[in-house]
Amino acid sequence: MAALVSGTSGPRVLAPAAAADRLSANADAISALLQGVSSEQALWQPEPGQWCVLEVVNHLADEEADDFRQRLEMLLTHPGDTWPSIDPTGWPASRGYRDRRLDESLARFRKEREHSVVWLRGLTAPDLEATYPHPSIGAIRAGDLLTAWLAHDLIHVRQLTRLHYRWLAQAAAPFRPDYAGPF
């Protein structure tokens, strides 16, 4: 796997091809976290209002198609265009995430991610300094968006791991996972 960031004495450069490699590896990690998840576990919420596994994977698929890839492509090819609005917190209800099947949702995420990986690998000398005036967070560069895309995966890998841990803790009761160490 190529270095994600190059340059030690001069400006550091984020490599889109290496980011594509990392996104592909992250998709494998997410897929591994979903293996063996039952329908019951896929819909289980640790607390009312918190996302379940099924909502997380559908969120990842929609973010892939409707947010990160689309917005980065717009910023690189049409930097003056206004980004379409998105509603990630409203999507679980409006798009019926809980009514979907986990295997189909994962397949959709994998398909969207593969499309993103191929697209990123095809970029030649993208302007990662291209900037969009985001209305709530201020100026965001293409490199910032690419970095956030990678970070977004890690946030949801952590979320899926926590969901697994909490599922185990409640499913195994009265046995406790404390001996494993702090979580």
Q: Is residue 10 part of a domain?
A: no
Decide: 29 and 157 in contact? Cβ < 8 Å: yes
Domain of 62 in residue numbering reads as 17-172
Q: Is 25 part of any domain?
A: yes
Is the residue at 53 inside a domain? yes
Which alpha helices (H) appear in 13-98, and where do they start and end? 16-34, 39-43, 53-63, 69-77, 91-94
Which of 114, 109, 122 shows the shortest CA–CA distance to 76?
A: 122
Give the pLDDT score at 152: 97
Is 135 within a domain? Answer: yes
Cα dist. 95→58, 88, 133, 151, 170 in Å? 9, 10, 28, 24, 29
1 lies in some domain? no
- Identify the pLDDT of residue 46: 93
Is 5 part of a structural domain of the chain?
Answer: no
CATH number at residue 138: 1.20.120.450
Our count of domains for the chain comes to: 1
The reply to whether 82 falls in a domain is yes
Cα(165)–Cα(19) distance, rounded to whole angstroms?
A: 29
Reading the chain (183 residues) residue by residue, the pLDDT tens digits are 566 655 555 455 578 999 999 999 999 999 999 999 999 999 999 999 999 999 999 999 999 999 999 999 999 999 889 999 999 999 999 999 999 999 999 999 999 999 999 999 999 889 999 999 988 889 999 999 999 999 999 999 999 999 999 999 999 999 999 999 988
| Residue 183, domain member (yes or no) | no
Tokens of 74: 């717009």
pLDDT at 10: 47
Residue 13: what pLDDT?
58
